[in-house]
Structure 1
Amino acid sequence: MIPILTYHQIGRPEPKGSPYRALTVHPSDFRRQMVWMRRLGYCGLAMRDLMPYLKGERQGKVFGITFDDGYRNVYQNAMPVLDELRFTATNYFVARQLDGSNVWDAQKGVAPSALMSADEMRAWDQAGHEVGCHTLDHVHLSELSPELAEYQIVQAKHELEQALGAPVTAFCYPYGNETPAIRAMVQRAGYHNATTTVRGLVRPSDDLYGIPRVPISRSTHILRFMQKCLTRLEDRRRKD
């Protein structure tokens, strides 16, 4: 089984009591986690690079690295670590918030945090990392009409590809909000895989359009991190 890690922000967490504070991992903790995986002989890969392993076409000590939403602090704080260790990662961008912020969190009292610009997204790609899609507007897909849900999926791919000048083949369901019909839309749109918020390691039998991941939070100390990545105890198969 293969762990695919989920991160959001890599930076200094907001003050105690702030909503969603746990989703920001300190840069020193992120570095420690990546360095330990390298010391143990593991290679961190973007979803694109991980696909042969997920399909059983290749074997090796690999794990997936994903970031949701396209935060600028990932570009600033995580990318140098990834590049130093020669790891690749997938970042799922919200197509109509390039150079914007996490506006979808505003009603929950979450502090605004800057997202990558189109130039930064292209630099992320040029460094060997992967640009994935997180819809046009970070929406709950199952709460939309089928027509609007499909538009969010298809048009986001088109707009990101136009900005990037390259194919976008990885998708992530915002909020983990998906159904069999939505998975089918993602597949029809031409994506090669899609990740969820279901917790667990990836099994060979898993649907490539319903891939589970391992969430990493601010409070994930290094021993817990290793337990999540390297044991089956994390394979709980439940949504966040």
Structure 2
Amino acid sequence: MTAMPLVLMYHSVTKYDDDPLNITVSPDRFAAQLRWLARRGLRGVSMRELLAARRAGTARRLVGLTFDDGYTDFVSEVVPALLRHHFTATVFMVSGRLGGSNEWDAGYPVKPLMDADDLRRVARQGMEVGSHSVVHPSLTSLTGTELRHELTASKAALEEIVGAEVIGFCYPYGHVGAREVAAARGAGYDYACAIWKSEHTGPHALPRTYIGDRDGALRLRAKRMRHRMRWGS
């Protein structure tokens, strides 16, 4: 199978007391993870930049950085840390929850989401904005009409906000099958991110490597090595 670039999957970066879903990385740990990349001559970039470099044959020292859901800490914690290293990233936004919170995680800690002004701000700072659907459903459970709405309405709404084409999508919960891959392609996305390797792996189901608060230098090294052994890149 064609080699896949290393893409790291984050959600939230903030101080926390309780994180039952394991989606939060502390700011200190995140800073250390970025330093780990930089010391190895690796540069974290958005998916847009990574895939363009891959097509040009210049992606060898690049690592994709992605942040799901669009939490406000992307503005306050993530972007400043990235800019210190001259890194960029892609944030996948749930378009129908702008300025709201992670309602899909009912019963778990509430996390605020970016609003339209926040999205415009991070886009001006060089970050890529991608779609993470309208309301964060499991796409595999939807009807065809509902699926198309989640893909197309979110794309249109985000494009209007940032004033640029939205070319990337991220499947909520990583739930994706052949129907969803075809729908993402048909909706006009150049690429889509999944989580796991599967029979659908390709430009519209790119696997990613989960990164959490436990990932120090040794675990990062192991995850990078595992990726290189699996994909040869």
Q: Give the CA deviation at 1:225.
A: 1.4
Structure 1: how far apart are the matches of 2:66 and 2:227? 20
Percent sequence identity is 33
Structure 2: how far apart are the matches of 1:93 and 1:234? 31
SS at match of 2:221: helix
TM-score (ref. length: structure 1)? 0.89
Q: Give the CA deviation at 1:182.
A: 1.1
Q: Which amino acid aligns with 1:213?
A: R
Candidates 205, 209, 222, aligned match of 1:227: 222
Structure 2: how far apart are the matches of 1:77 and 1:210? 28
Q: Do the aligned residues in 1 keep the contact of 2:6 with 2:227 (CA within 8 Å)?
A: no
SS at match of 1:30: helix
Query: In structure 1, what is the equivalent of residue 100 of structure 2?
Result: 100
Query: In structure 2, what is the equivalent of residue 90 of structure 1?
Result: 90
Deviations 1:166-191 (A, max 9, x none): 11111000011111111111111111
Segments of 5+ residues of structure 1 without an aligned counterpart are none
Q: Give the CA deviation at 1:199.
A: 5.5
Deviations 1:14-62 (A, max 9, x none): 33xx531x21001111011111111111111100001134446334211
Query: In structure 2, what is the equivalent of residue 81 of structure 1?
Result: 81
Query: In structure 2, what is the equivalent of residue 14 of structure 1?
Result: 17
Q: Which amino acid aligns with 1:46?
A: S
Candidates 171, 174, 180, aligned match of 1:176: 174
Segments of 5+ residues of structure 2 without an aligned counterpart are none
Q: Give the CA deviation at 1:12.
A: 1.4
Q: Give the CA deviation at 1:74.
A: 1.9
Instruction: State the superposition RMSD in angstroms.
Output: 2.0
Deviations 1:45-100 (A, max 9, x none): 10000113444633421100000000011211111010111111000000011111
TM-score (ref. length: structure 2)? 0.91
Structure 2: how far apart are the matches of 1:130 and 1:188? 21
Q: Which amino acid aligns with 2:11?
A: H
Matches within 5 A, 1:152-163: 152-163=150-161
SS at match of 1:58: coil
Specify whether residues 182 and 220 from structure 1 end up closer, same or farther in structure 2 by C-alpha distance, changes over 3 A only.
same
Q: Do the aligned residues in 2 keep the contact of 1:199 with 1:215 (CA within 8 Å)?
A: no
Q: Do the aligned residues in 2 keep the contact of 1:89 with 1:129 (CA within 8 Å)?
A: yes
Specify whether residues 62 and 166 from structure 1 end up closer, same or farther in structure 2 by C-alpha distance, changes over 3 A only.
same
Q: Which amino acid aligns with 2:94?
A: V
Specify whether residues 174 and 206 from structure 1 end up closer, same or farther in structure 2 by C-alpha distance, changes over 3 A only.
closer
Matches within 5 A, 1:1-240: 1-15=4-18, 18-20=19-21, 22-55=22-55, 57-106=57-106, 109-198=107-196, 207-232=202-227, 235=230
Structure 2: how far apart are the matches of 1:233 and 1:55? 19
Q: Give the CA deviation at 1:2.
A: 2.5
Aligned length: 227
